[in-house]
Amino acid sequence: QLAGKAAIVTGSTSGIGLGIAEAFARAGMNVMLNGFGDKREIEIIRARLAKEYKIDAAFSAADMSVPDEIAAMADDAKRHFGGVDVLVNNAGIQHVEAVENFPVAKWDAILAINLSSAFHGIRAVVPGMKARGWGRIINVASAHAIVASPFKSAYVTAKHGMLGLTKTVALETAEHGVTVNAICPGYVLTPLVRNQIPETARARGISEDEVIRDVLLHAQPTKQFVTTEQIGALAVFLCSEGAASITGAALPIEGGWTAQ
């Protein structure tokens, strides 16, 4: 029953967002992609999803650190698809550094992109969802929304904040057929994680191999990275009627990390 529904997936030119957008397209949903990257490569992704899954795929270049651009992206999607049924707040960045050296501009950017962008997107789409009596909001948080790690003060703060936003909006929309949930992935081998391996090696004074073995996979009892396909499958389930009673939840998908 998801075929024909329209979804915005922020930060979907790469990694987890792209995995969710592809899973949505496979389920027959129309998707608005968003994110940074090479224009030609993004157009190749957009055209491939449209052709392979016979869906309508659009793209917005909105910068998730700019509230007006987020509102404009939502307006574009409403005009293009006739409404927004599903919003996935996924765009995110990372910076790994001790709190006393943490650049103020990085703190501000991480709070804006990883947390405030979800507020701006939600406030733009909730009226339409309430009016139609159906909607799904999925916030891509993190295991770092539940537990902390050193040297990630801004990221852990933003992700913990995302759970507060998730619960609050879930309560406000609960009687309108709208669910609001957070997905809390463990480590997925995307560019975001690959790029932090050298930073983490420097911050902890260990080698890059040791970061993978003793920091990243050490956190996950399965000793496996989570995959973007697994996260896409969870997002599709959350959109289904089978998940209609799941709201305000933080769903871990982290190989047992936060069970420890």
Question: CB neighbours of 207 closer than 8 A, spacing ≥ 6?
Answer: 201
Is 155 in the active site? Answer: yes
Q: Looking at beta carbons only, is 120 or 134 nearer to ligand NAD?
A: 120
188 touching ligand NAD, by CB under 6 A: yes
Q: Which is nearer to ligand NAD, 135 or 185 (CB)?
A: 185
When the beta carbons of 93 and 239 are compared against ligand NAD, the nearer one is 93
Residue 185 engages ligand NAD in binding (rule: CB under 6 A): yes
35 phi and psi, to 5 degrees?
Answer: 145, 180
Of 22, 63, 76, 85, the residue at the interface with ligand NAD (CB under 6 A) is: 63
Contacts (CB under 6 A) with ligand NAD, residues 207-246 = none
Contacts of 175 (CB under 8 A, 6+ apart): none
* Contact pattern from residue 134 through residue 173 relative to ligand NAD, giving x for each residue in contact according to CB under 6 A and a dash for the rest: ------x-x-------------------------------
What is the maximum span of the chain, computed from C-alpha positions, in angstroms?
Answer: 54
Given 24, 53, 134, 155, which residue is catalytic? 155
The rounded radius of gyration (Å) of the Cα atoms in the chain is 18
Are 49 and 22 in contact by the 8 Å Cβ rule? The answer is yes
Phi, psi of 199 (to 5 degrees): -60, -45
Residues 35 and 64: beta-carbon distance below 8 Å: no
User: Would you count residue 14 as binding ligand NAD (CB under 6 A)?
Assistant: yes
Q: Does 29 bind ligand NAD (CB under 6 A)?
A: no
Q: Which stretch binds ligand NAD (CB under 6 A): 24-32, 44-52, 180-188, 204-212?
A: 180-188
Distance between CA atoms of residues 134 and 146, nearest Å: 28
Q: Within 10 A of 96 (CB to CB), how many other CB atoms are there? A: 24
Binding positions for ligand NAD, rule: CB under 6 A: 11-17, 34-37, 63-65, 90-93, 113-114, 140, 142, 185, 187-188, 190-193
